[in-house]
Amino acid sequence: MRALRHVIRSLSLSLALPLADHNLGAAPGLPGLEISNLQSPISNSTAATQHWAFQPPRDSPLPEVKDSRWPKTPIDFFILAKLEQNELRPSPPADKRTLIRRAAFDLLGLPPAPEEVDAFLADRSPDAFAMVVDRWLASARYGERWGRYWLDVARYADTKGYVYGDREEPRFVHSYVYRDWVIRAFNQDMPYDEFLLKQIAADHLLSTFNSNPETQTPKLETRNPDLAALGFLTLGRRFLGVIHDIIDDRIDVLMRGTQALTVACARCHDHKFDPIPTKDYYALYGVFASCTEKMLPLSAANRANPASVDFEKGLNERVEKYEQTMRQKREEFSNRFRTNVTEYLVAVLDVKKLPTEEHYEIRGPNDLNPTVARAWESYLAQTKREFHPVFAPWHALVALPAEDFATNAAGKLAELTISASSSPSRLTAVHALSPHPGPLPQGEGTTAPVPRLNQNTQQLPPQRSTLPLPQGEGRGEGERAANKTNNLDLPVAPNSARPLNGLIVETLTNKPLHSMRDVAERYGKLLLAVHQRWQETLQNAATNKTQPPRALPGQSQEQLRQVLYGSSAPVHIPVLAAADLEWYFDEPTRVQLMKLHAEIERWIIRSPGAPPYSVVLEDRPNPKNSRVFVRGNPANKGEEAPRQFLEVLSRGTLHPFAKGSGRLELARAIASRDNPLTARVMVNRIWLHHFGAGLVRTPSDFGTRSEPPSHPELLDWLACDFMNEDWSLKRLHRLIMLSSVYQQASQSSVFSDQYSVGQKAEGNPTDYSDHTDGSARTLMRAAAVDPENRLLGRMNRHRLDFEALRDSLFAVTGELETKAGGPPADLFKPPFSPRRSVYGLIDRQFLPGVYRVFDFANPDLHNPQRPETTVPQQALFFMNSPFVVERARSLVQRLDLTREHDLAERVQKLYRTVYQRSATAEDVEGVIEFLKTADSLPPYQPPPPPVPVWFYGHGTFDEDAGRVTRFTPLPHFTGDAWQGGANWPDANLGWVRLTADGGHPGNDLEHAAIRRWIAPFNATVSVAGTLKHDHEKGDGVRARVVSNRLGALGSWTVHKNKAETKIESVQVEAGDTLDFVVDYNANLNSDDFAWSPVIKVAGGATGTAGDDSQKEWNAKKDFSGPPPIPPKPLTPWEQLAQVLLLSNEFVFVD
C-alpha cells in the first residue's frame, strides 16, 4: 500500500472509471484524498483546468539581465536571463559562412549560391544579415519550404490510402490544389488566423447565405481559389468509407494541429488526463457529421482552349451517367425501404443488436439496412421531443415494461391527452381507449367513426389537409423542398388542440396488444398501406395524364404519408458524397455507382484541359447534434452532445453552435485572440523548426501530460506579439532569426580550433576572448546543468530533412526546376524529376522506401515533428542509388571539371559549389593524391547481366504443324506492359499486349499474344495457372501452351469464366521454348484476359543445372522490361563529386 501511495503521489495517477466497487476505501493506510484521485479522472479536476496551457498568455515585461550587450531582440532577454540564472553563458556568434548557410536552409530549404555567400562575407554593414533574411522571406522558395512543414501537420498525401481497387480511383483530384494553396498562403504571409479560418470554413467565408435566417446554411455562389483550403479536412485517409473513422481523423488533425490537444482520446471515454469529456468529442463529431463532401471546379473552363472543351464534354457525359444512375437507385431503394417499413420498425425496438458500420456489408437489395434502421431510431427520437400525432402512442407504449405490456397497454393509451377541447369525436376516441368504458354522456356518442383507409380515394370524407405542403410534393424529388422550419414535416399543434392520428388510434385499438412488436407491426402495416395508396394515386394520375395530387385526402392519411415521404423521412436516401455510398446500397449497386464516380475522378486527374478542383465540406440542410457513442460504439448511443466548442477553452461562455453545422463558429473559436492555445501552438512550431526543438517539446500535445515550456514567459510573450502583429509568420521568422540566440555558434564550433572548416569567426559584436580559455569548464558545466540544450546556450546542429537533402543535390548540380505548383511528379522514377520535393507524389499506400529511410512524415497521420535518425540505409542510398550517381555526373558536367588546366583551381571550384567555401590546402592535397591514384587503377568491369528466360511477343499458331511460327518480340515497353508502340492500340500491331497479369490478343490470328519461356537447363517441369476472361461482351479468348519440340500441350477457351491450365509434366532441354499463346476466339471484342502461368521443376534437373539453380519461374513476379543497361563506371572526378555529396558537411547544417 505504501508503494501504491508513492506511485499515486509521484505520477498524479487517475483512472477513467470509478473504483469504489473494489473496496479501496477499506484498505488500511490509504488516505481519503488519494481514494478521491482514484475515483475520478483528472479531466474533471480543478487542477486540470488551471493547467498553464489553458490560461490566457501574458505579455510579460522583459526580464533584467547582467550582460546588456548580448540581446539584439526581446527574445534574447528571456534566453539570457535563464542562462544567467543557471550560471551559464551563451556561445559566441557563428561565423558568417555558417550563418548564411543556416538561414538559407531554414528559410528556403536550399544551400546559398557561392556568389551569395561571397557577397554576404564582403558586406560589413550591421544590417547585412537582416537584408539576407528579408530577401529570402520574399522568395517563392520560402513558401515551398515552410508550406511543407504545414503539410506534415495536415497529414498531406496525393492518394486515399487503401481503397477498393476494383471500384475506386486511388488518387485525390484536389490534393495538389490544396498543397499549392498552402504554399501561396505562406508566400503571401496570410495572417495565421485567416489561414486557419479558411481551412476550416472557407465555404462559409466565401458564400452568401440562403433565405433561412435561423440555420444560415451556406450556398456557394462563387468559384474562389480559397476553397482549396478545405483540403485540410478532406485529404485524410478514407478508411474504406467508415464515416466514424473519417470524422475522427478530421477531429484529430484539427485539434492536434491547431490546439495541440489530443481530443480524439475522448472518443471512447473521458480523456484520462486532460479536461476533455467524451461529450466534447461528440460535440465536434456532430459538427462534421452535419457536413458532406462536394467536388467542384475552382475556375471556369477556358472555351478558347481545345483541351478544355474536350475535357468539359467528357466530364458532362460521365457526370450525367453517374447522376442519372444515382437518381434511379435512390428512388428504387427508398421505395424498398418504404415497402419494408415493418421490418425497420421492429428492428428499432432492439437497435443495439444491429451491426455497426465497421462490421456489416449489405449484399442483397432487400437486406435490412442498419443505417436506415438507425435513421428510424433518430427520427423517432425527434418525434419524442414534442407531441407528434402519429408517434405519440408509440412513445407512450414503448416505455412500458415488457412483462406488464399486455396488461397496461390499453390503460397507457387512454392516458394520452388527445385534445383539451370537448370535440365529440375526440371524447369518443378517449372513451373507447378507456380500460372500463361505460355509456357515453348524452349526445356525445353520435359522431362518425374514425375514417378507415378506403380503397377508393374519391370515397374518403372530404377533409382538407392543414399540413404545410412543399412545392412539387408527390413527384418523388419534391419532398425535399418542404418547409425546413419543421424537421418532421408535421405541424405541432398548440397545447389546446393535440389530436392523435385517427388511423393510428383505430389500428392500435381494434385488437389487444401483447408486445411492442405488435405495435411495430401494426404501424408498419398501416404505413405500407399508405405507401401503396400513394403509389396507386400517382400511377392513376400518370395513366390519366392528369396533374398528380400534392397530398392524400384526409388529414390522418396525409400525416402518415408524410412519415414516409416528408423531407426528413428516415427512408430518404440523401444526396450522397461518394464516401457515403457504402451505407445505403447493396454491394452490386455500390460497385456500379463507385465505378461511375471513379470514372469522373479519373477523367479530371488525367485530362490536360481540366481546371483545378477542390473537395469542400458543405453543411447538410438539417444539421443535427450527435449522441455520445458509449465506449465508442455507434450502436450504443448515450446522451445528446450539442454542437459546441471545448468546454475547457470556453471559459464559462459555452454556447451551442447556431449557424448551420457550426463549422464557422468552430473556426472562429479556434482562430480567436481569446483562445489561449492557438497562438502558443503556432509560435512553438515555428521555434521548433528554427532550433530543432520547441519551447514545449511536445508540439502537438499541450495537455496536462506534456512537458512544461522551457521558457514559459518567452512562449507567452511570443504568442502575444504574434497576435498583436496581425498574426504575421514572416515577421515572427525575422524576429527569431535576427536574435543573438539564433545567431550563436553550435557547440562543435565554439570548442574547436576553428569555427568551421576553412573559416575563422569574424565580425563578432561581443567580446568572448575568455570563453575558449575556460571552454573545458564551461562545457562540463553546460553538460551537467543543461545536457539537452533546453536553455539554448548554443545552436543545435541537425541533419537536412528529406526534401532539403534531395533539393540540395539538384541545386548544386544546377538542375533544380523552379516551376511552382501543378500536379505531382514521381520523384524516384527514371528519368528523375528535377522538381522540388514538395511537388513530389505522396502515395499513402505505396510510399517509396527512401522517404522512410530519411524520416519523411507518415502521410497517414498528423505529424508534429519528424524524427532525426542516423541509420546505415542512409549511407547506402548515397553510395548506391542511381539518383545520387546521376547527380555526381551532372555536377562534374556542369562545372566542366575535366577541361580546366589548373588542377587546384578545379578542386576549389568543386568545393565552392558543394560546400560554399574554399578548399583548404589539406583538402586540395588529398584530392590531388586521390586523382593520381585513381588514374593508375585498371578500369572497372561491371558483371554481366543475368540471362533472361521470359520473352514477350506476337506470332501465329500453325494448327496443321501444331507449332508457333513467326514469333516477333513486341517493340515497346511502357513500364507496365509490352505492346506495339507508345499508344495502345498501336497503328501497326493493333491491340496485342502483354502485362504481368495477362494481356490482350492482336487484331487477327497472325498477331496472337505470346509469352515465351526458354528453358535454362534440361529438366522435367510442370505448368500451372488460371486463365480468366471477365466480359459479357464478345465470345472470349482461346489459349494454348506450345512446346517447340512436342507441339501443343493443352488448349482452353474461356468466355466470362475461368479455366485451370495445368500440365503435370513435360520434358525440356536447355534452349527449348514453352509458348503461352492467346488469340481471340472468333470475334475481336472485349478480349483482355488474365493468365500468369507458373513453371516449376518437377523432376531431376540435368545438364548445367546445379543445386542452387532456380527451380520456379512465375510469369507475374518475373515480369520485366528490357534488360537493364550496365551502369557506366564513374570517372575519378565523378567519384570525388559523389564523395563530397555524401559527406557530413553536405548533409548536416551547423
pLDDT at 582 over 60: yes
Q: How far are the Cα atoms of 78, 84, 707 from residue 791, in angstroms, in the given order? A: 10, 10, 14
As to burial, measured by CB atoms within 10 angstroms (0-12 exposed, 13-18 middle, 19+ buried), residue 623 is buried
Distance CA 138, CA 134 (A): 6
In the chain, how long is the greatest CA-to-CA distance?
A: 129
Summarize the confidence of residues 1068-1097 as an average pLDDT: 94
Cell of 571: 427512408
Q: Residues 370, 470: contact at Cβ < 8 Å?
A: no
pLDDT at 482 over 60: no
The pLDDT score that the predictor gives to residue 367 is 79
The pLDDT score that the predictor gives to residue 287 is 97
The pLDDT score that the predictor gives to residue 491 is 42
The pLDDT score that the predictor gives to residue 364 is 65
Domain residue spans in the chain?
2-40, 172-299+612-670, 391-565, 870-943+1124-1150, 950-1118
pLDDT in tens, 682-735: 999 999 999 999 999 999 999 999 999 999 999 999 999 999 999 999 999 999
Summarize the confidence of residues 464-490 as an average pLDDT: 34
pLDDT at 866 over 90: yes
pLDDT at 424 over 70: no
Residue 300's pLDDT band (boundaries 50, 70, 90)?
A: confident
Residue 125's pLDDT band (boundaries 50, 70, 90)?
A: very high
Q: Residues 57, 709: contact at Cβ < 8 Å?
A: no
* C-alpha torsion 262→267→272→277, nearest 10: 90
The pLDDT score that the predictor gives to residue 649 is 94
Residue 584's pLDDT band (boundaries 50, 70, 90)?
A: confident
> What class does CATH assign to 950-1118?
mainly beta
The pLDDT score that the predictor gives to residue 38 is 40
Summarize the confidence of residues 884-913 as an average pLDDT: 90
What is the average pLDDT value for the chain, to the nearest integer? 84
Nearest alpha carbon to residue 571 among 268, 724, 706, 369: 369
Nearest alpha carbon to residue 63 among 45, 46, 80: 80
The larger pLDDT score, comparing residue 978 to residue 753, is at: 978
pLDDT at 578 over 70: no
pLDDT at 877 over 80: yes
The pLDDT score that the predictor gives to residue 36 is 40
- 3 state DSSP class of 1042: strand
Residue 411's pLDDT band (boundaries 50, 70, 90)?
A: confident
Q: Which helix (H) or strand (E) segment is 619 a member of?
A: strand 613-619
Cell of 790: 533546453
Nearest alpha carbon to residue 162 among 711, 845, 695, 637: 845
903-915 helix and 882-895 helix, angle to the nearest 10 degrees: 130
Strand order in the sheet with 1047-1054: 963-969, 950-958, 1008-1014, 1073-1080, 1037-1043, 1047-1054
Summarize the confidence of residues 1001-1010 as an average pLDDT: 95
pLDDT in tens, 354-370: 776 555 565 666 778 88
pLDDT in tens, 812-832: 999 999 999 999 999 988 899
Summarize the confidence of residues 846-875 as an average pLDDT: 93
The pLDDT score that the predictor gives to residue 341 is 94
Nearest alpha carbon to residue 1008 among 951, 948, 1076: 1076
The larger pLDDT score, comparing residue 738 to residue 766, is at: 738
Residue 209's pLDDT band (boundaries 50, 70, 90)?
A: very low
- 3 state DSSP class of 408: helix
* C-alpha torsion 846→852→855→856, nearest 10: -20
Nearest alpha carbon to residue 678 among 226, 302, 200, 1108: 200
The larger pLDDT score, comparing residue 679 to residue 163, is at: 679
Distance CA 915, CA 1146 (A): 6
pLDDT in tens, 6-52: 433 433 333 333 333 333 333 344 344 443 444 444 445 677 889 99
The pLDDT score that the predictor gives to residue 357 is 58
User: Most confidently modeled of 301-310, 424-433, 642-651, 898-907?
Assistant: 642-651
The pLDDT score that the predictor gives to residue 847 is 93
Residue 1101's pLDDT band (boundaries 50, 70, 90)?
A: low
The pLDDT score that the predictor gives to residue 676 is 97
